[in-house]
Chain A
Amino acid sequence: MTDTLDTFRHETRAWLEAHCPPEMRQPVRSEKDACWGGRNPDFQPGQKEWMDAMASRGWTVPDWPTAYGGGGLSPAETKILREEMAAIKARNPLNSFGISMLGPALLKYGTEEQKLDYLPKIARGEIRWCQGYSEPNAGSDLASLATSAEDAGDHYIVSGQKVWTSYADKADWIFCLVRTSKESKQGGISFLLFDMASEGVSTRPILLISGYSPFCETFFDNVKVPKSQRVHEENKGWDVAKYLLGHEREMISGMGLASTGGNPLIEGAIATIGLDHDGRLADPLLRAAIAAFEVRSQAFGAMSERFIDELKAGRAHPAQPSMMKYYGTELNKTRHELQMAAGGSDALEWESAASGGGREARAWLRTKANSIEGGTSEVQLNIIAKRILELPA
C-alpha cells in the first residue's frame, strides 16, 4: 500500500515536472491568470497546454471516475497529486464552476445519460458554466426565488431574472434554479441546465466597485428547455441546490488559503517597507498584524486539509462547509486589507502600468463580496449555531 503510493508519488512528480509549463508555475496575481476554458477561451501562454495535459490524465478532476473524464484516483492519491502540484508551485489547470459546483451535484443526482453527456466536457474544459441562483428578491432568502418554468409537455418555458450571475456573459451553459410549483416554497423548485445561446437569454454585466464586471443580470424571456435537461425530480431541485451550495462554500473557503507560489502579502510588505538591521519588517505594528494573520492563515491551511480528509472519509459534519466558508472568506478579506496597508499609496493606483492596472486595489475590493456571495457570513453563522451547536430557534 505505502509502496504503491510511493511509486505513485515518484511517477506523478516526474510527470508534472515534464508537463507543467514554466508560465504555469508563476503565482496567480489576478483573475486574468486563471484558466476558465469554454467555447470561447481566452488563453494566456501555457494555459491551454497545461489544461489539456492534465485533462488527458483526468487530473483536472482527479477523484472523479474515469468513465466521466476523471482520473479515478483514491483520496490518498488525490492528496499526493495536490502535494506534488504545490511542491512545484503549479497553478490550478482549470478553474470551473462545472468542476467545483455542478459536477459534484451531477455525480450525486444526475442520470447516467446526463453524467456521460456533461461531465467529460467539464473535465476537459470545453463548456464554461455559470450559476443561476440569486434573484433581485431572493438573496439570503434564496428559496423565495420566482423565475418560472412552465410545463409545456416535453419541455419547460422559462421566464424571469437572475442576478449576481458570475461571468454569465462569458459562460456557455447555465445551471439554474426555477419555480415549477407555487404550492411549496422549497418544494416547488427545480434544477435545470441550458445553453446560454438559447433564444430568449440575455445578460447585462453589472459594474462593481472594483471597476470590473464579473457579475451579470441575466434575463430569461420564454426560453425553451427540454425536460431531459432537468437534474433530479421536478420540485426537488432544492436538494440539488443545497448540495451544490455546500461545494460552492468549500470552493470559496479555499480563498482564505495562501496562494501557491510565494506569499504576495509578505513579499509586498518587504518590497515597500523593507527590513530593519535585525531582519524584521521595519514597521513593527504592521509586522505584528501580519504575523497574527499568518498564524490564522496557516492554521486554516491545516483546517482545510483536515476538512477535505474528513469529507472524503464521510466524517465531516454536514454543516461544516458553512464554517469553512465563513472562516475562509473573512480571512481573505483580512489578507487583502493587510496587502493594501503593505502596498501604501503604490497600491492605490487604479490604472498605471506599475500597478498592473490597479491589480491590488481591485482585488482588495473584489474580496468584499466573498462574505456575501454563496450565503453571507451571517447566514453561515446561523447555520453553524442551529445545525452544529444545536442552539434553540
Chain B
Amino acid sequence: MRPTLSEQIEGARVVLVELVAPEVSDPYSQEQVTYAAAALENAAARWPHILPDLVADIRALEELLDIEPAALDEAVPGVPELAAAEEYHRDLRARLTDEIMSGSGSSPAVRAYLYDSIERLK
C-alpha cells in the first residue's frame, strides 16, 4: 500500500529537517532534532528488513547453539510475528551470552556469528 511505511517515515523526516530544524534556534533543541531525524532515516531504511534479518539471525543462532531449526516454528507457528520472533531471538542471545561467559576462550564460530549479527541487526 502506498505510501509505504518507509515513505511515511521518510516524509516525517523531511518535515523535521526542512521545516522544523530551520525554525529551532536553541542549540540543545537543534541537537535533539538532528538525532530524531537520523533515527527516522535509519528506521525508514531498516524496517522492511527487520523480520527477514531477525529470522536469519535466529537460524544462525540455532546452528551455533546446535538447536533444531524447527524450534522457531514451534515457538512461533506459521509466519513469524515480530514480537514473538524477537522474544525467541532474545532467549537464544541470552543462551549464547551465558555460554560465552562460562567459556574459557574465544571461539571462531562465535566470533563469526557476532560479526554477522551486527550487520544483520544494525
Binding partners A and B: no
